[in-house]
Every structure is written in C-alpha cells, then in structure tokens.
Structure 1
Amino acid sequence: MRIISGKYKGRRLSPPANIKARPTTDMAREALFNVLQNELDIHGADVLDLFSGTGAISLEFISRGANSATAIDVEYLSKKFLDGIKKEWEIDNLKTVKADVFKLLKKADRSFDIVFADPPYADPRFPELPDMIFDSGWVKQDGLLILEHGSEHNFESNLRFQSHRQYSSVNFSFFRN
C-alpha cells in the first residue's frame, strides 16, 4: 500500500497483519481521488475518516493538502499504527481516535467538509448509515459524504445521494448535504 499523490507521494504503508481492516485498494483510492480533485478543492478541507482502519484515506487527504483529518476506528491496533505513521512522518494535522463510530454519532460536536466512511459491510446498520451521519451534524452544509460499500448496497433512493462509482469490487456512493 502506498500514498498515491501529494506531499507524501510514494511513501509505503505496511500495517501489521493483525489489523482488522479491509484497506481500500491503491487502484480504488487513486480513482476516488481523481474524481474528488475534479469535483472539489481538497486543499484546506477538514476531513473525517470513519472506520479508518489503516488510515490510508486520511493520509491521502493530508498528503493532498487537507487542513486536517480525524481518523476514527474501534480497533486499538489501527490507532496505534496510524499514531506511529503520524510520528514517523511528522504529521501534526492528523487526529486519531479509538472509538465506536456508532456511539460517537450521538455525540458529534464538530462538522467536516468531507466525511469518508468505510464500515464493515455486514453491519446491519449499514443501510441507514448515510442518514445517521447527516443527522449527527458531522457533514457541513454543502459538505460531501463518501461511503465505500459492496455491490449489495444501493443508495440511489436516498434524498442526499449524488452519484455512484464502481472500481472493480469497490463501490463509492457520494452524498451532498
């Protein structure tokens, strides 16, 4: 796994094998960020990365000039790994949080320009997640929510749904507030 572009372009990420995560592939991340660079200004954006796993999405946003990124994952190993990268690469605008995203939804105290979520596909709350995130207040007015999901989910009937992209087995649905 590597950072695709920006300040940290080419830097490799080697997460421990025991991290419970399904990292977004390099190909899917590259395609996603190509779309994002054409649709919005990442530079200066505040980003929230939910179910962050290895933190590759947060690091990609930071590398491309995001003002800040907050990575939240329930797994201690994910936070520890990302804290190590943060220290090694001397990143001061990345915040890592070990917490259950579903519990934090009820306690949101800040809004973000971009929210990326890559939850466990099998979670029974998955279909309601876009509305739960918007209801929490995490997405700023005119902000963007990007949800990574498998082909078994379709969000086109959601009122905030904007578009869908598929890259091999990786699907991204985009929502606007």
Structure 2
Amino acid sequence: MTNRGAAGVDQDIEKQWVALPAGIRTQVDGFVLQDRLMQAIKLVWEAGRVQGVGLREAQVMVHLRYLHFGDRVARTPDDPIDLDSLATLAHGIRGRVVAIEAVWDGDTVHGWFVNLLAITDEPVGQKGLATIYWSAAERALDGADTGGLHHPSAAAATRAGTALAEHLGVPFHFASPDTPDDDAPRWRP
C-alpha cells in the first residue's frame, strides 16, 4: 500500500476487492455476514496474494466489508458478565470452586482481553466463565468508573470477578489488572 492518504488507500483496496473472482467475494461476504472474521481475512489473503494483497490489505478489505454490511452482520454475542449469569455458570461446574481468577490473553483480532475463570479442586482444573473483550467491557461498564484501570476489560473483569467471588465466598485473583500480561503469576491455594 502506498502512503497517499486514506482515500487513496480505500481506492486501492476497492480495486483489489473488485479484482478478486466473484465466487471469492461471495464467500468472503458470507463469512463477514456470519461474523467469521478470521476465515474472511484468510480467504482474501490467500486468494489475493497473486495480485499483491498482503495480510494488512486483507484485514482492511474485510473491515470495509464489515462496514458495508453494518447491522446485517450476525455478531457473535458477548459472554454475559452479570452476577446472576456468572453465578449460574459457576454453580453448574463439576467440582468445588475454590477461586475466581482473571487472566489476560490476546490475539491479532481482538488485541488484549481478559478471561474470567472458575478454579476448581476435586477435580483440579479451571473452567472458563466469560471472555471479556474491549468492546464488550465498554458496553458492560456503560460509562461507570473503571477504578483507575486503563483497560476496560480489566475493569469489567475486576468488577464481575470480585462480585462473583464474594457471592461464592472464595478469593478473587487478578495478578496484573493494570498491565496486560499473559505470563502473570496464576492463583495458587
């Protein structure tokens, strides 16, 4: 891509989109309408390589298709993080819940996000309760105070995890709420 500004880049992307075979464009649009972002990007990237479409161009192209379809995209629903839903999920876990833990994770699609986990013993393990992405966290917080945390996912996870842990009478652990760190120390009894 050249550095000619957004309008020029959008025109280049549009030309690359139109140059893709109709069948590929139809399949990409199908993936977008089903909110299957990674499959759409992969298809554009693989099909467009011969005409010089790189990964970044494929991402922008698919993003523009999402914008094109807007509300018609069947978005993947957010995991619920209200106390009633989390408590119901926690009570349905096999084994005794001994802690609630928030841990960072990340990927190229969502950036950093937080997984809210129930830690169990007998059997020893963990069960995912919710994945809290930035956009879902902003919706859940709805303008509420983040408690000084900069990442909305950390604030929403701390709020939901603390409430659930208090409800269950177990500790809440979040080793690195201020800084995304997927290598932060995990909870130990």
TM-score range, shorter chain: under 0.3
Q: Which has the higher strand share?
A: 1
TM score, norm. by length of structure 1: 0.27
Larger radius of gyration: 2
Q: Which has the higher helix share?
A: 2
TM score, norm. by length of structure 2: 0.26
